[in-house]
Each structure stands twice: as structure tokens, then as C-alpha cells.
Amino acid sequence: MARRRTGEGSPSGAWGAEGEEVLGEICSELRCVVERLDDIAFDALRSAVSAGGTRRPERERRVTRARHALERAISILEHAGSEAGTEEAGTEEAGTEEAGTEEAGTDP
């Protein structure tokens, strides 16, 4: 079943306060997963050291890569709300600049 994306019907395309709250909840959940991945990575390192290993185990490397990906996702989601306001402001500024250019082009 396809999910309806929140915010599509709003005139500005912004998510609004409800959408920001949902994104905040998702970020919190992702932070919990990051902590669990940290535990798994540390356990893999401890096991490798206990076994006399001198290199990072493959499992720890995969888990660390996944953890970094989640941290990037959290960062993107945390800035999603501020970008909506920036995009709208940028559109208004661009419209002002275009109007100024058109007026300048009509002067003799």
C-alpha cells in the first residue's frame, strides 16, 4: 500500500509543525538505532581483540558504515524544515531580482 506524503497538499509545500514533529520523532528513533549499531561495532572489536586479531573485523566495518549513513540521514532530516523556509525566501528574492532586471531593461 502506498503512503500519502504529508505536506503535498499545502500551498507552500512546507510540512508545517506536524511534519516537523514527525521528523523529530524519526530522528530520535534513528539515534536509538545508531546507539545499537555502536554497541554491535564495539562488541565486534572486543571479540576480535580477544581472539588476537590485529585488523578491524569486516562486521565492524559494515556496521560503522551503516552508522555513518544513519548519521547523515539524521542530519538531512534535521535540516529539512529549515530548508523549506529558505527555499521560499529564495524564490521571493529571485522574483524581486527578476522584477528589477525587467524594470532596468525598460529604461531608455
Q: What is the DSSP string of 5-69?
A: PTTTTSTT---HHHHHHHHHHHHHHHHHHHHHHHHHHHHHHHHHHHTT--S--HHHHHHHHHHHH
pLDDT, greater one: 1 or 83: 83
Using pLDDT thresholds of 50, 70 and 90, give the confidence band for residue 100: very low
Angle at 92 between CA 73 and CA 76, to 5 degrees: 5
Residue 99's pLDDT band, with cuts at 50, 70 and 90, is very low
Listed by start position, the domains of the chain span: 20-102
pLDDT of residue 20: 86
Contact 103, 80 (CB under 8 A): no
Confidence band of 9 (pLDDT split at 50, 70, 90): very low
